Amino acid sequence: MSNKSQQWNPHLWPPFTQVSTSTPPQRVISGDGALLLRDGAPPLIDAISSWWVTLHGHTHPYISSAISKQTEELEQVIFADFTHPQAEKLAARLSHVTGLERLFFSDNGSTAVEVALKIACQWWKNRCEPRHQLIAFQGAYHGDTFGAMALGERTLFNAPFEDMLFPVRRLPWPDTWWGDDNLEKKEKVVLSELEQSLETPTAAVILEPLVQGAGGMSMVRPEFLQKVEKRIQEAGALLIADEVLTGFGRCGSLFAFQRAGIKPNLIALSKGLTGGFLPMGVTMASEEIFSAFIGEAPHLTLWHGHSFTGNPLGCAAANASLDLLEANPEQYQKFESRHIAHLHIIAKHPRVKRIRVTGTIAAFDLDVEGPSGYLNTAGKTIKAIAMQNGVFLRPLGNVVYLLPPLCLNNSQLEQCYSAIEKGLDML
């Protein structure tokens, strides 16, 4: 590898990175499908979709072409005074597939969650029935802006801001895995706590349907979420689905809430929305919610917006990505079975425990010493050995996971699991 690619850039501030204890980032010069092409080093399989955004693969020609064509027509326009064909097309399509009639554009997953939160809280106020309690789940991650931080698990990541975050009622997350024999008991405890919590008038309950991502790829049963939804409906609260990670085929259905068999009132979307090409966030809301913001009184208005709201290039990318998903649904519908064949083999390794899989996402915990969670260093060993074997992983502490682009072929998937096994043998 060239020296140039091993040096810290004197002007860049990398995310989630302690420079004093980390290895300098490598230089990627291009991407091709599931591969990252490095400066002076062999290609890497991008087994985590570059932080879960690259849905169809890098530089997909269909999406690239759609963006290029849109640059020749309209690159940006203020969305408070104008609309445009790509935004109208995307809104109609997402309304159709989610069952929620209204779309609000923002910039990323965190802001999509913030918008959902503001809509939920203001909806009650607009109805002259203010509710203040918000309910979230332990282990959740909803973003890094202040409202999203408050909703998420209180951790090292947001500790400096603890005294600035609003209170949230937090419930256990009854995650499960292969061979879990305590599942029904865990779910029963959570549902009981939820019922008690909902005795206090609640504005909204927010959850990541089926899979908590940054919280450790922690997975729950659809049946549990259906019982959660029932209790929320009975309490008259709103249900917010944070599908920033789980949306667009990641969980084996187009959206995770569909596989879970629930229907949220609000949905936050981002990451795979544009196929990973451009930053964009979307919050979907029901017509019932939207109608409470209509009236002559200024205070009824949702006073929120972003400079690049409804950006035409992002909308073009999102429409192109939806085209690909609609043309090849079997890519995400059948990915889970591809994982399972390999997971049965890796399950025999003594360092592997708590295997779980949902759609394109496969994960397990490392059976190692030290604290569980993000600060466990065992994942770094797996990451380094996988890199030496042509696979890019980014374990969440002692949680190893695969979340590859849909274009990953069987040979590349086998290489991913082979690299993981080699890492396991070195622990």
For the stretch 317-376, pLDDT in tens is 999 999 999 999 999 999 999 999 999 999 999 999 999 999 999 999 999 998 888 889
Look at residue 389 and tell me if it is in a domain. yes
Q: Cβ(90)–Cβ(271) under 8 Å? A: no
Same domain, 230 and 164: yes
Q: What is the pLDDT of residues 134-158, one digit of tens each?
A: 999 999 999 999 999 999 999 888 9
Cα 382 from Cα 426, distance rounded (Å) = 8
Same domain, 318 and 376: no
Same domain, 93 and 230: yes
pLDDT of residue 338: 98
Same domain, 382 and 286: no
Q: Cβ(398)–Cβ(378) under 8 Å? A: yes
Instruction: Look at strands 102-106 and 218-219 and give their pairing.
Output: unpaired
Same domain, 125 and 229: yes
Same domain, 173 and 107: yes
Q: Give the total number of structural domains in the chain.
A: 2
Rounded to whole angstroms, what are the CA distances from 34 to 46, 105, 142, 377? 6, 29, 27, 27
- Among 288, 312, 327, the domain boundary falls at 327
Look at residue 283 and tell me if it is in a domain. yes
Radius of gyration for the alpha carbons in the chain, expressed in angstroms and rounded? 22
Look at residue 38 and tell me if it is in a domain. yes
Question: Residue 315: which of 36, 51, 73, 57 has the closest Cα?
Answer: 73
Q: Cβ(219)–Cβ(174) under 8 Å? A: no
**Diameter over CA atoms, the chain:** 67
pLDDT of residue 370: 87
Look at residue 68 and tell me if it is in a domain. no
CATH no. for residue 35? 3.90.1150.10
Same domain, 313 and 341: no
Instruction: Look at strands 361-366 and 169-171 and give their pairing.
Output: unpaired
Low-confidence residues of the chain: pLDDT under 50: 1-4
Same domain, 251 and 295: yes
Q: Cβ(144)–Cβ(214) under 8 Å? A: no
Question: Residue 357: which of 346, 367, 369, 343 has the closest Cα?
Answer: 343
Question: Residue 321: which of 371, 366, 270 has the closest Cα?
Answer: 270
Q: Cβ(401)–Cβ(395) under 8 Å? A: yes
Look at residue 46 and tell me if it is in a domain. yes
pLDDT of residue 5: 52
What is the domain range of residue 247?
Answer: 74-327
Scan for tokens 């969305």, then name that residue. Answer: 79
- Between 85-98 and 312-327, two packed helices, what is the crossing angle to 10 degrees? 40
Same domain, 210 and 234: yes
Same domain, 38 and 184: no
H helical segments located in 130-266: 146-151, 183-197, 222-235, 256-260
In the sheet where 391-392 sits, what is the strand order? 28-32, 35-38, 44-46, 391-392
Same domain, 55 and 201: no
